[in-house]
A and B are shown apart, each in its own frame.
Chain A
Amino acid sequence: MLVTYIEAIRQAMDEEMDRDKNVVLLGEDVGLLGGAFKVSAGLLDKYGPDRVVDMPISESLIIGSGVGLAVQGMRPILEMQFIDFISCGFDQIVNSAATLRYRHGGQTACPIVIRGPSGGGVHGGLYHSQNPEAWFFHVPGLKIVAPSTAYDAKGLMKAAVRDDDPVIYFENKFLYRRIKEEIPPEEFVVPIGKAALRKEGGDLSVITYGSPVHAVMKAARDMAKEVDIEVIDLRTLLPLDMNAIRASVRKTGKALIVHEARQTGGIGAEIAARIAQECFEDLDGPVMRLGAREAHTPFAPAMEDYVLPNQEKIIEAIRTLAAY
């Protein structure tokens, strides 16, 4: 079955709603409109307004009410129209959802999925380009996933819905309709917490996730004669699959972490620290990172390109590291 990344998400939500009547979808314009990006097209007709709910404009409400539903055994999928608006629901995520189980001494679970389009490269400007995963990476009790392929988009959505903990699911809107892939027609789930080895290589490990996976893969192919690159697609950011990361770095002795989110304080910082500590003896070069520069993601194309990582910057970083 040939599907786009966005269709894979739609299918996963549809199939999970079909499988389990406790799964509901809450968000702005998710019903009548089928979502700003049409990711929930047809779901209102199929499941009705009690399960596909057009919510008033309040992310705090969408997430907070999701927690209430979850305590009652429902499994809400909570859409942020753009993931940038997740900041408007911050308190409900970090204080309400993430501590729910902990502060009740394990009496309840919090099976919610918060999802929405993230990422730049589409001239979305300051509030339609964000990659805020690091804000949540700092919060115990949350899980974070960020698929880069249609297969993972579908499989991770299923895993997220079935997971008993709050999962933030970062969709990449740049990939929504840009990638199309053959996926199996039969049911599959991609487990949370498992990275994917996208390409084996012996010289250098690139650890990445989200849309840069595709740029890194292209760089790996283009540079094949120069350097033998191994590519790890994290898929899940919290918890990190340190086994996969360690195994790769122990083999290659060199690690570059690439993400579109800001480099400073990004997820790459944690990974770099863990590698430095846990793979010290195996390293043949500094652990390197490539993320966005120290600015917001601006609108004008040249500035956006300057701030965000791209193919060129990835190649340059790989060359620098390979030279050690």
Chain B
Amino acid sequence: MTEQKDRELYYWLRLIREFEDRISAMDKQGKLMGGVYSGKGQEAVTVGFCHDLRWDDWIFPLHRDLGAFLVKGADPRRLMAQIFGKRDGFAKGKDSYLHGGDLGNGIFGATSMLAATLPVAAGMAFKFKIRKEDRVAIAFFGEGASSRGDVHEAMNFAGVHKLPVVFVCENNFYAYSTPNELQFGVDNVADRAAGYGFKGEVVNGNDLHAVMATARKAIDRARKGEGPTLVECKTYRYHGHSEHDRADYRTEEEVITWESRDPMILWEVYLEKKKYDVEAIRNETAERVRKAVDDAVAFAEGSPAPEGPEAMEDLYAMPIDTEAR
């Protein structure tokens, strides 16, 4: 990779981190309403899968993947407005967090119902296939969500038709408080791929190089019409399930161990190996991301709060006769 790309990837990791940190801080200050689900610690997964996608590929982020929004091209300012529930958010305030997608950039907004996006991603990939478009759909889901029937149903269909979809399981070892061993009886979620007739791969989700290499293979395979892949990224969320969760169900030791495998630190080590001026890159990047997030926050704060009657907008595509109703 070129130095420019190495730096750029570092920028994305840090931008997401800065975004997450700022949101958590604002939540603590009581500036945000509703649930906040930090993806801090999992940045390499979203950067690794989204960075090299084409503009007309589609992603289906899970509830902590605000990083995926950013890397896929969502305007950080609108994303922040979305989190504030403001009019300039993707949902125009009708919901917050990642429940409003940015369809123009190929970013699908999920419902809360975990993994309900997977059948949708499969359907979209089916269209790519029947119209012979070399586009791919990337569907993210948690290891907890993997217990839902929607996951099985989507993968089964994708296997039958060899659809251009990549299923990305972000295994951060907990689903809220529930550990892997109470969630499934296999060692790896990726082991299930065999049951659908496609390939499953396990990757260190904190190692951006590893994620990118695996992502590239899976995406190429999908684009060439060779069918889906299930990639399981082993990673960790530093924060609780939501900002309200103290996460007493895990040990401090475990958190510290994972912090030592931080995706951003790992990337800095790599930059050092390449003999770049890491100190300078770090400072310059820190400044850039701080500015970007400041700007996003300022925009979101200034964005108007929706007014009551706006609640009635965007329900139907075709006007309805309210008198007749």
Residue numbers of A with Cβ under 8 A of B are 28-29, 32-33, 36, 54, 56-58, 60-61, 82, 84-85, 87-88, 123-128, 293-296, 298-307
Residues of B180-202 at the interface with A, using a CB-CB cut-off of 8 Å, are: 182-184
Q: Could you tell me the distance in whole angstroms from the C-beta of A35 to the nearest C-beta in chain B?
A: 10
B99 at the interface (CB under 8 A from A): yes
Q: Could you tell me the distance in whole angstroms from the C-beta of A141 to the nearest C-beta in chain B?
A: 23
Q: Could you tell me the distance in whole angstroms from the C-beta of B26 to the nearest C-beta in chain A?
A: 15
Whether the pair A54, B178 counts as a contact (CB closer than 8 A) is yes
* Closest 3 A/B residue pairs (Cβ): A306-B308, A127-B112, A300-B93
Whether the pair A32, B177 counts as a contact (CB closer than 8 A) is yes
Whether the pair A299, B307 counts as a contact (CB closer than 8 A) is no
Residue of B nearest to A297 (CB): B311
Whether the pair B111, A127 counts as a contact (CB closer than 8 A) is yes
Residues of chain A within 8 A (CB-CB) of B178 are 28-29, 32, 54, 56-57
Whether the pair B147, A57 counts as a contact (CB closer than 8 A) is yes
Residues of chain A within 8 A (CB-CB) of B182 are 54, 56
Residues of B242-272 at the interface with A, using a CB-CB cut-off of 8 Å, are: 249
Known: A32-B178, A57-B175, A60-B149. A298 touches B184 (CB 8 A): no
Question: What are 30 contact pairs spanning A and B, CB under 8 A?
Answer: A29-B176, A33-B249, A56-B147, A56-B178, A56-B182, A57-B114, A57-B147, A57-B148, A57-B178, A61-B147, A82-B112, A85-B113, A88-B113, A88-B148, A123-B34, A124-B35, A126-B99, A126-B111, A127-B111, A128-B112, A294-B315, A298-B94, A298-B95, A298-B306, A300-B306, A301-B33, A302-B307, A303-B311, A305-B308, A306-B312
CA distance A120 to B35 in the complex (A): 14
CA distance A306 to B305 in the complex (A): 13
CA distance A307 to B307 in the complex (A): 11
Partner of B86, one of A87, A300, A305: A300
Known: A125-B96, A127-B99, A128-B35. A58 touches B249 (CB 8 A): no
Residues of chain B within 8 A (CB-CB) of A60 are 148-149
* Additional pairs, 7, CB under 8 Å, beyond known A57-B114, A127-B95: A28-B178, A56-B178, A57-B178, A60-B148, A127-B99, A299-B33, A303-B93
Residues of chain A within 8 A (CB-CB) of B306 are 298, 300, 302-303
Residues of chain A within 8 A (CB-CB) of B310 are 303
Known: A57-B144, A58-B147, A125-B34. A299 touches B95 (CB 8 A): yes
B319 at the interface (CB under 8 A from A): no
CA distance A303 to B176 in the complex (A): 30
Partner of A299, one of B85, B111, B312: B85
Known: A61-B147, A85-B113, A88-B113. A295 touches B99 (CB 8 A): no
Known: A32-B249, A33-B249. A58 touches B148 (CB 8 A): yes
Interface centre among A82, A299, A303, A307 (most CB of B within 10 A): A299
Q: Could you tell me the distance in whole angstroms from the C-beta of A54 to the nearest C-beta in chain B?
A: 5
Whether the pair B34, A36 counts as a contact (CB closer than 8 A) is no
Q: Could you tell me the distance in whole angstroms from the C-beta of B117 to the nearest C-beta in chain A?
A: 13
Interface centre among A57, A58, A87, A306 (most CB of B within 10 A): A57
Whether the pair A303, B308 counts as a contact (CB closer than 8 A) is yes
Whether the pair B147, A126 counts as a contact (CB closer than 8 A) is no
Interface centre among A33, A54, A56, A293 (most CB of B within 10 A): A56
CA distance A54 to B181 in the complex (A): 11
B30 at the interface (CB under 8 A from A): no
Partner of B183, one of A32, A57, A293, A302: A57
Q: What is the number of contacts between chain A and chain B, taking CB atoms within 8 Å?
A: 118
Residues of chain A within 8 A (CB-CB) of B176 are 28-29, 33, 36
Whether the pair A306, B94 counts as a contact (CB closer than 8 A) is no
B145 at the interface (CB under 8 A from A): yes
Contact mask B291-318 → A, CB, 8 Å, 1/0? Answer: 0000000000000011111111001000
Whether the pair A293, B149 counts as a contact (CB closer than 8 A) is no
CA distance A28 to B175 in the complex (A): 9
Whether the pair A127, B184 counts as a contact (CB closer than 8 A) is no
Whether the pair A125, B99 counts as a contact (CB closer than 8 A) is yes
Residues of chain A within 8 A (CB-CB) of B312 are 293-295, 306
Residues of chain B within 8 A (CB-CB) of A61 are 147
Residues of chain B within 8 A (CB-CB) of A294 are 312, 315, 325
CA distance A296 to B95 in the complex (A): 10
Residues of chain B within 8 A (CB-CB) of A87 are 113
CA distance A299 to B83 in the complex (A): 10
Residues of chain A within 8 A (CB-CB) of B112 are 82, 84-85, 126-128
Residue of A nearest to B115 (CB): A57
Q: Could you tell me the distance in whole angstroms from the C-beta of B41 to the nearest C-beta in chain A?
A: 20
Residues of chain A within 8 A (CB-CB) of B13 are none
Q: Could you tell me the distance in whole angstroms from the C-beta of B124 to the nearest C-beta in chain A?
A: 21
CA distance A85 to B144 in the complex (A): 15
CA distance A56 to B306 in the complex (A): 38
Residue of B nearest to A307 (CB): B311
B155 at the interface (CB under 8 A from A): no
Residue of B nearest to A296 (CB): B94
B91 at the interface (CB under 8 A from A): yes
Residue of A nearest to B91 (CB): A299
Residues of chain B within 8 A (CB-CB) of A299 are 33-34, 85, 91, 93-96
CA distance A171 to B307 in the complex (A): 29
Residue of A nearest to B84 (CB): A300
CA distance A56 to B175 in the complex (A): 9
CA distance A82 to B325 in the complex (A): 32
Partner of A54, one of B86, B148, B177: B177
Residue of B nearest to A292 (CB): B311
Residues of chain B within 8 A (CB-CB) of A88 are 113, 148
Q: Could you tell me the distance in whole angstroms from the C-beta of A48 to the nearest C-beta in chain B?
A: 14
CA distance A260 to B96 in the complex (A): 21
Residue of B nearest to A49 (CB): B182
Q: Could you tell me the distance in whole angstroms from the C-beta of A193 to the nearest C-beta in chain B?
A: 32
